[in-house]
């Protein structure tokens, strides 16, 4: 499996995917720099909320789809699936490695987001200790909340040979995020809204799905992840190439 990781990384190095990873963290950092903090005591958490709003609302769900499409791009071209599966590797290993790469790219994105937040705090001279628990829980929560999306998007990218079609579907389902995230009834169950719900720190001003307990949200996340990953792997195991 180590050689498979190396092979997949070589494929990604030949793509522009490395340029996409820092885009959202950079934009989020600019938003943080331009935002006005109302409460100096909670400056870190407030800036985190400003930065996470667009990052988790729009870019993280989109990047989950983009990364999934990229890791399958070469296999859809020129009979790549046949060449790959003709090697002495199991389909399960191939699928798991590709999924792990998507999660790895999302993890790098989240680490850059944290770095951007720290840079904003340093530039604005925030006083007081850095609330590492809030920041890391937000970044980790957003990453975990992307797992169902990554599993679903990888399954779609494996099934469809078109590179653009899975991305178009992802965009269509990402756009309603703002409305659905406001719903306490539907927000926690909508995969594209879950990264936002997981990243925004709770406060007295929380409303809608942001009031849902974290335990409930992550129970839904892990349940939907198990369903999407098992379905995608099952399809891949039966897929004719």
Q: What is the DSSP string of 204-229?
A: TT--GGGGS-HHHHHHHHHHHHHHHH
Start-end of H helices in the chain: 2-13, 17-20, 23-34, 43-54, 60-73, 80-85, 91-124, 132-159, 164-174, 177-181, 194-199, 214-238
- pLDDT in the model for residue 86: 76
Reported for 214-223, long-range contacts at CB under 8 A and 24+ positions apart, including other chains, are 214/141, 216/188, 217/145, 217/188, 218/141, 218/144, 220/188, 220/189, 220/194, 221/144, 221/145, 221/147, 221/148, 221/194, 222/147
- Distance (Å, rounded) from C-alpha 196 to C-alpha 130? 22
- pLDDT in the model for residue 208: 42
| Mean pLDDT (10-residue bins), the chain, 241 residues | 74 80 95 85 88 93 91 77 78 91 95 96 88 93 94 91 82 85 79 89 54 76 94 88 64
**pTM reported for the whole predicted model:** 0.91
- pLDDT in the model for residue 111: 97
Query: How far does CA 202 lie from the centroid of its chain?
Result: 20
Domain count, the chain: 1
In the block, residue with structure tokens 């870019």? 59
- pLDDT in the model for residue 36: 85
- pLDDT in the model for residue 204: 47
Give the domain range for residue 106: 2-238
- pLDDT in the model for residue 66: 92
The phi, psi pair for 38, rounded to 5°, reads: -90, -30
- pLDDT in the model for residue 225: 94
């Amino acid at each position: 499996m180590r050689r498979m990781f190396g092979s997949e990384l070589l494929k990604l190095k030949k793509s522009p995917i490395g340029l996409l990873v820092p885009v959202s963290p950079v934009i989020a950092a600019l938003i943080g720099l331009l935002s006005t903090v109302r409460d100096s005591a909670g400056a870190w958490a407030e800036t985190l909320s400003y930065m996470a709003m667009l990052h988790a609302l729009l870019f993280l769900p989109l990047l989950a789809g983009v990364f999934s499409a990229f890791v399958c791009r070469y296999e859809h071209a020129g009979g790549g699936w046949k060449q790959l599966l003709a090697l002495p590797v199991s389909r399960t290993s191939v699928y798991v490695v590709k999924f792990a790469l998507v999660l790895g790219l999302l993890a790098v994105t989240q680490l850059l987001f944290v770095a951007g937040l720290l840079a904003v705090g340093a530039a604005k001279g925030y006083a007081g200790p850095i609330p590492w628990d809030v920041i890391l829980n937000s970044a980790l929560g957003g990453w975990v909340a992307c797992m169902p999306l990554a599993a679903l998007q990888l399954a779609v990218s494996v099934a469809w040979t078109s590179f653009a079609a899975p991305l178009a579907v992802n965009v269509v389902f990402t756009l309603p995020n703002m409305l659905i995230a406001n719903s306490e009834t539907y927000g926690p169950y909508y995969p594209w809204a879950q990264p936002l719900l997981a990243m925004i720190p709770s406060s007295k001003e929380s409303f809608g799905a942001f009031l849902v307990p974290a335990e409930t949200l992550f129970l839904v996340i892990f349940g939907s992840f198990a369903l999407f990953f098992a379905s995608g792997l099952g399809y891949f195991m039966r897929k004719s190439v």
